[in-house]
Structure 1
Amino acid sequence: MLILTLLLLLLLLLITGYAANSILYNRAVYPEESFVKVKKYGLPMLLIEDESVKSFLSNLTSQIAEWLEAGKLQRVVLVIMSKATGEVLERWNFRIETDNEVVEKGVSREKSDKEIMREIQAIMRQVASSITYLPCLDEACVFDVLAYTDADVAVPFTWIESDPKLIANPQMVKLHAFDTKIHKVDTLVSYKNDEWDEEE
C-alpha cells in the first residue's frame, strides 16, 4: 500500500496545498506579502505564512486524507466569496474519481514518478494561467472549502453542513485532468458572469 500512500499524499498536496495556495495568491484573497516562495515539483510556488490559514489547510488535509483513502471523497470545492456580502464569486471544483478496485481489493496500479510530476506541473501551470481568463476581484474576499463525500461517512463536529454555494449562470473554465491511476481529478473553475450592459 506504499504506492497508494504516496499517490494519496501527492494528490492531497496538490489540491489542499499548492493549488489552494496558488489560487489564494493569484486571486489576491490575501496580500502578496503573506506568501513565501518555495520550489516544489520543479516549479516556483507560493505558500501562505498566515498561521490561521496554514492551520485550516492542515486540518482540512488530514480529514480529507481519511475520506480519500477510504474512497469516500467525491469532490473538493474551494469557494471565493465577497467579504462584505458573502456573494460567491468563484468556485474551484476538484472532482475526484477513485478506482475502487485499488481501495477495496488492494489492486496495484503503477505510474512513474516522472509521469506524475509532469501532470502536477501541468495542472499547476494551468491554475496559474487560468487566472488570465477570470475577472479581477476588486473587493476584499474570503474563502471556504466544501467537501462532497458519500452519505455514510462520519463527519467531525468541527465541520458543518453547507449549501453548495453555487453561482447563478456562471462562466466556466475547464482545466487539465490529473490522473494518478488510483484517483482521477477533473478541475473546473466557475465564476460570476458580469454581463455588459449594451443598451445605450
Structure 2
Amino acid sequence: MPTHTTLDTYQGLVSTFADFLVVAIHTVLYERDIYPRASFLSARKYNFPVRQNRHPKVCRWVADAVSAVETELLKGTVARVAVVIYSSASQPLERFVFDLSSFPAVPPAEATTPFLENSATVSLVDLAEQFRGVMQKLAFCGSSLTPLPENCSFTVCIELKANEEAPIGQTSTPWIPSQPSLQPVSVVAGGAEGESSGLGGSGGNSSIGKDLGGVKTTPVRAVESGSFVLEVWVEEGRAKMNGPPVVTSG
C-alpha cells in the first residue's frame, strides 16, 4: 500500500487494486490447494496473516499477470478480473471474480489527475480494513466450497467493458482468447496457466457463455471507499457441480 493516507487519482486506485490482487491470487492458490501447502510462506498484509507461494516462477507469473491487468485497467477498458481454476481436462471449475465495473471512467491521459470531489478521495486506512475483510472470507473459502479434484491449473482473466477492443496482438503481453464457454457476447478473457489471458471474438459458437455464472454463486464481500468500489464473488462451474443455478447468501 502507498505510504500516504488517501488516494485521489485513478492511477492510485489501479495501483492499490493491483497490490491487493497479488495477495488475493496467492490466497486463492493456497486455499484451493493448487500447489502443495508446504510451498507457501506465512506473511502478513492488511494486518492479517496471509500466504505467499515461495517458488520464484509462480511469484513471477503472478506478478507479470497482475502487471498486465494493471496496464489494461489504466486504459479504462476492464470491467472484471477473474482467477479461473481448471480441471486437468481444461474444464473451468471455479471463478473468483473481482468486479471493477463501478470504478470511475477516467481517460488514460488523466490517470494522474486528482479527483475534483472530496467524496471521491479514498481513505487507505478504511480500504485496508475492508481488504482485510475480503482476505478473511477468502481464507475460509476452502471450507465453504466443495473440494476440487487433483491436478488443477489456474489463470488470470479480464472481462472488457462493452465495445472495447481486445488487446490481443497489441502489446508484448501474450493475451489470448478464452474458450467460447467463458465469453459472453461482450467478450471475456481467459487462457491457460502460465500465460496472461486476454479475450477474443466468439466465432458464432453456440456454447458461448455457458460456463459464466456457474451453477452456484457465493458472494465474498463488497469494498467501497470513495471512488474505490469493488465486488468479489465465487462461481462454481457446471463441470464441478450439477443442478439448477443457485445463489447463496453471504
Normalised-by-shorter TM-score class: 0.7 to 0.9
Report which of the two has the higher share of helix. 1
TM-score when normalising by structure 2: 0.69
Q: Matched residue of 1:12: which SS?
A: helix
> Which residue in 2 is equivalent to 1:144?
155
Give the distance between the partners of 2:121 and 2:107, measured in 1 at CA. Answer: 11
> Which residue in 2 is equivalent to 1:19?
24
Verify the 8 A CA contact 1:72 1:153 in the aligned structure 2. no
Tell me if 1:96 matches 2:104: no
Are the structure 2 counterparts of residues 102 and 113 from structure 1 closer, same or farther at C-alpha, using a change threshold of 3 Å?
farther
Deviations 1:40-59 (A, max 9, x none): 11011111112222121111
Q: Matched residue of 2:221: which SS?
A: coil
Name the Cα RMSD after superposition.
Answer: 2.5
Verify the 8 A CA contact 1:22 1:127 in the aligned structure 2. yes
Q: Matched residue of 1:10: which SS?
A: helix
Q: Matched residue of 1:92: which SS?
A: strand
Verify the 8 A CA contact 2:7 2:123 in the aligned structure 1. no
> Which residue in 1 is equivalent to 2:115?
107
Q: CA deviation at 1:173?
A: 0.2
Q: Which runs of 5+ in 2 are unaligned?
A: 1-5, 183-189, 191-210, 244-250
Q: CA deviation at 1:101?
A: 5.4
Identity %: 22
Q: What letter matches 1:91 in structure 2?
A: R
Give the distance between the partners of 1:147 and 1:48, measured in 2 at CA. Answer: 23
Give the distance between the partners of 1:71 and 1:129, measured in 2 at CA. Answer: 32
Verify the 8 A CA contact 2:123 2:226 in the aligned structure 1. no
Match of 1:171 among 210, 216, 220: 216
Give the distance between the partners of 2:149 and 2:46, measured in 1 at CA. Answer: 32
Give the distance between the partners of 2:166 and 2:114, measured in 1 at CA. Answer: 21
Mapping for residues 1-150 of structure 1, pairs under 5 Å: 3-4=8-9, 5-15=11-21, 17-83=22-88, 85-97=89-101, 98-100=103-105, 106-108=114-116, 109-150=120-161
> Which residue in 1 is equivalent to 2:176?
160
Question: Larger RCO: Structure 1 or Structure 2 (Cα < 8 Å, ≥ 6 residues apart)?
Answer: 1
Give 4+ residue runs of structure 1 displaced > 4 Å after superposition.
101-106
Deviations 1:27-72 (A, max 9, x none): 0000011111111110111111122221211111212112212321
Give the distance between the partners of 2:31 and 2:220, measured in 1 at CA. Answer: 16
TM-score when normalising by structure 1: 0.85
Q: Matched residue of 1:161: which SS?
A: coil
Are the structure 2 counterparts of residues 130 and 2 from structure 1 closer, same or farther at C-alpha, using a change threshold of 3 Å?
closer
Q: What letter matches 2:40 in structure 1?
A: F
Are the structure 2 counterparts of residues 90 and 70 from structure 1 closer, same or farther at C-alpha, using a change threshold of 3 Å?
same
Tell me if 1:189 matches 2:234: yes
Deviations 1:172-196 (A, max 9, x none): 101111234334221121113246x
Give the distance between the partners of 1:65 and 1:80, measured in 2 at CA. Answer: 21
Q: CA deviation at 1:153?
A: 5.5
